[in-house]
Amino acid sequence: MAVKKTTVFPDYVFETQIEVPTELNRQIQESLKINKESGITTETVYGWFTNKQFPCEGVIGNIANLLATNFVSNVVQNFDLQVPRDINLLNPWIISTNPNHSFPTTLEHQRWYNAGIYLQTTNKGSHLKLDNYTSKIYASQNTQETSHFIKPKQFKVIYWPSHIPWSLTPNMSMVETTMLICSFRADAQK
């Protein structure tokens, strides 16, 4: 599986695509429905999201573990970690944006990297938007972008630093854009 590395603000953002067999895709769509109706979701004006404190239902947990395995195997090797680290998967949750709605800007505190996978989308679905709110924004006028957009595609996986604020742009398709989001912490080994 090819992994594309992009430098953003000037951090590394990684994108890849996973191949999902038809049967697994059907199980994912069933799991999304079960999660939405499970009682661990919050309905909002833009769509819904699951509570981070509860495990996701069905095969969604397996997808989160796949993201973690891929992160450790293909992304962590890009960093020259001087101290051995335990990479921990934290708080997988699902977010969904209805047509003509967007997901507000959010930030994961005390994390190293975030991961997201588009479980349901179209080419007109919500784009992942990364923003640069640093104090150097005044110096980057016309020389460096202050926002970075990643196009949606079903089963596209994105890894980005947790200190970068992120959101989802308006969903211009006729179906919900649904993503599994999780984060990672890199603790020093004892």
Q: Which amino acid is at 35?
A: N
pLDDT of residue 140: 52
pLDDT of residue 157: 98
Q: What do you get for the CA distance between the two ends of the chain, in Å?
A: 32
pLDDT of residue 141: 58
pLDDT of residue 136: 59
Residues in the chain predicted with pLDDT less than 50, given as ranges, are none
What global pTM score does this model have? 0.90
Angle in degrees, 0-180, between the axes of helices 22-36 and 60-70, rounded to the nearest 10: 120
pLDDT of residue 111: 94
* 161, 12 contact by CB (below 8 A): yes
Cα–Cα dist 38/126, whole Å: 24
pLDDT of residue 181: 97
pLDDT of residue 135: 60
